[in-house]
Structure 1
């Protein structure tokens, strides 16, 4: 069966899809990953077909406009919609239509506006997939896209309706495409539930762990949440200077803000250098897209652009990170306590959840960062062994799961239900 996986965003939005695609491919399906060019090598390295979506998310996040949008500035978001986002979305819609026309099924990230419409136009099975539980309503927790948590089950369930409001500004663009390109007559609107197609729920695939996030029994049958979608990466060879640093002292903290651009990266770097010096701890700093320079004159800090979290986290004492779903999952799998510095999106959700299960110190937002705040939390993780114990317990549960395999089982079961017997 030809299955297209459609996703855009950061590596945290793409790598789990590649892991799932790799499993489906191993079962004999012809899988095509449709995403940004930046991930072509990763897709082809894992022996998957690749089709480019012209959505330069990486370039956008590094631009001044993108940085303002990631900071959650609503004025900037509205201002940039027509000048930056709309042209990118128009290209994306054209690209996914071109590649999907011979697909037997599609699995799409909600960021790929148009996945729902493709399934409607082509009359093929569809799945909505996300590494964060943001789609199916539940009483158990507040919609992770919101920066706060509510205690009311009724309000929690209602909070998932905000998803439609967040995409409402794109409906005119999508509806024009539906009519002119797909030949569909109906319109998308805030009053239409886009998780239901032809009167039936579109199956939802969550790439997260039921050991960490509660599975709502009302989801049974149309939601799969069997575990994180980890990608089994090839063996990575660390550079000699990194090995020398690791061998020269006790396990370091690893710091990674990944794709999040810092407002004042030089100031944060100086702050981290001083904090680790005062705390008497060593650190590996992965600069990513944060804007931090790759060089530092501190003997107790090793800097690098990036390296596989699956390799470095197990070598670490603890992890300081932005709270992205993929980074959080990798830290949990490695059994490491955390300090989470949430910026936007679902990051506050993961920061709260990690605090609640006892594997993380209190969250530290960028505007609250200080040498004293970092030193206090570093000392807390080092002196309170409960954090490490809880992290090890979480890791033991996660390692028993096989999220990718069980999710693929769920997909095949649903496809069999929709395929007439011959």
Structure 2
């Protein structure tokens, strides 16, 4: 049976699908992941089939237009959406339709608008999947796409209606594609996208019930059995410089803003360097796409700059992690049992920042506009010295490491596919 997995976005949107895809192949399924060409080599190295989608969100977030779109100016967001996102969506719809021609089953990320429509056209079983619980309504927490938290359970449950409103900007493009390519009638913003032709669409969450509460009302429609984490990237080897740095000193703080571009990277780096000096701590800075970089005249032997490294390998060797709050990075820090400071930028990152602080494994949230050397120093001191933070991080890690997220999610997929026959 051939499963086509559709996902798009940053590495945090792709890597969990790869981890699940590896498990599905071990279970006997044929798996192809359709995503941005940016991740082609990463997918193929895991032994999974690949199909390209012409939508490079990584390149977009690194561009000046993308940075403006990630800001808070609604007019700028609308302007850049029309200029950049609409053409990308049109190409994406063409590519996912081509990739899905021989699918027996679809598993799709909600960012890949069109997964629902293809499953409807082809009449095949489909699952909607996400590493963050943003799909099924619950009163336990506010929709993670919102930057706020509401204490009212009724309002929390209603906040998931916003998922449909998100599609409003794209309904014209989608319905044109439905008519001209899929030969399907237009659908409205009121269409229930968790049901296809009267059949509920099962939901797969790649997160841990130890970190967010599972709602018993979800029943057999929702699977949330644990993180979907790759067990290791076999061909990755640390550099001599990295190994030497780790072996010749105390455990460092790991700092990573991943694909989130800082507005003033040099200024933030200067703050971090001051904070590290003030606290006497060593650090490994994963520069990623943040804009931070090692300058030629920087001779600080207590800081090592690395473009990227597998979190599953590096985080367990750290004293704590300062990061942007992406679902995958948060999961890796939780699994490693390390206390953290989260500096959220957008999307579901504020949700994970709040949740980790509520669980007692993170210092208070630190937004980019609030960053100072003193606040970084306070956070670093807590990561290294707070027994409460470290004990709670270790306790949460113990629970998470007993879960079998990928394996039990595949059990759920198996059960639903047997019912659909």
TM-score between both structures, scaled by the size of structure 1: 0.97
Q: CA deviation at 1:73?
A: 3.0
For residues 299 and 265 of structure 2, the distance between their equivalents in structure 1, rounded to whole angstroms, comes to: 16
The question of whether the paired residues in 1 share the 8 Å contact of 2:133 and 2:144 is answered with: yes
Structure 1 SS opposite 2:84: helix
Of residues 355, 362, 372, the one that matches 2:357 is 355
Gaps of 5+ in 1: none
1:295-374 equivalent positions in 2, closer than 5 A: 295=295, 296-374=298-376
Alpha carbons of structure 1 residues 34 and 294: separation in structure 2 relative to 1, 3 Å: farther
> Paired residue for 2:282?
282
For residues 381 and 228 of structure 1, the distance between their equivalents in structure 2, rounded to whole angstroms, comes to: 24
Aligned residue pairs: how many? 418
Gaps of 5+ in 2: none
For residues 303 and 188 of structure 1, the distance between their equivalents in structure 2, rounded to whole angstroms, comes to: 49
> Paired residue for 1:43?
43
Structure 2 SS opposite 1:40: helix
For residues 238 and 2 of structure 1, the distance between their equivalents in structure 2, rounded to whole angstroms, comes to: 35
The question of whether the paired residues in 1 share the 8 Å contact of 2:53 and 2:95 is answered with: yes
Q: CA deviation at 1:383?
A: 2.5
The question of whether the paired residues in 1 share the 8 Å contact of 2:232 and 2:313 is answered with: no
> Paired residue for 1:218?
217
Q: Cα deviation per residue 1:79-105 (whole Å; 9 max; x = unaligned)?
A: 012211111111100001111111111
Which moved further from structure 2: 290-299 or 199-208? 290-299
Which moved further from structure 2: 72-81 or 338-347? 72-81
> Paired residue for 1:56?
56
Q: CA deviation at 1:389?
A: 0.4
1:110-149 equivalent positions in 2, closer than 5 A: 110-149=110-149
The question of whether the paired residues in 1 share the 8 Å contact of 2:5 and 2:34 is answered with: yes
For residues 255 and 318 of structure 1, the distance between their equivalents in structure 2, rounded to whole angstroms, comes to: 9
> Paired residue for 2:19?
19
Structure 1 SS opposite 2:261: coil
For residues 294 and 130 of structure 1, the distance between their equivalents in structure 2, rounded to whole angstroms, comes to: 35
For residues 72 and 200 of structure 2, the distance between their equivalents in structure 1, rounded to whole angstroms, comes to: 31
For residues 377 and 147 of structure 1, the distance between their equivalents in structure 2, rounded to whole angstroms, comes to: 22
Structure 2 SS opposite 1:313: helix
Over the residues paired in the alignment, what is the CA RMSD in angstroms?
A: 1.0
Q: CA deviation at 1:165?
A: 1.0
> Paired residue for 2:202?
203
For residues 80 and 210 of structure 2, the distance between their equivalents in structure 1, rounded to whole angstroms, comes to: 39
Of residues 374, 389, 393, the one that matches 2:395 is 393
Q: CA deviation at 1:77?
A: 1.5
Q: Cα deviation per residue 1:328-356 (whole Å; 9 max; x = unaligned)?
A: 00000000000000111100100000000
In the TM superposition, structure 1's runs of 4+ consecutive aligned residues that sit over 3 Å from their partners are none
For residues 6 and 57 of structure 2, the distance between their equivalents in structure 1, rounded to whole angstroms, comes to: 14
For residues 93 and 134 of structure 2, the distance between their equivalents in structure 1, rounded to whole angstroms, comes to: 22
1:218-257 equivalent positions in 2, closer than 5 A: 218-235=217-234, 236-257=236-257
Q: CA deviation at 1:72?
A: 3.7
Alpha carbons of structure 1 residues 76 and 115: separation in structure 2 relative to 1, 3 Å: same
Which moved further from structure 2: 232-241 or 392-401? 232-241
Q: CA deviation at 1:192?
A: 1.7
TM-score between both structures, scaled by the size of structure 2: 0.98
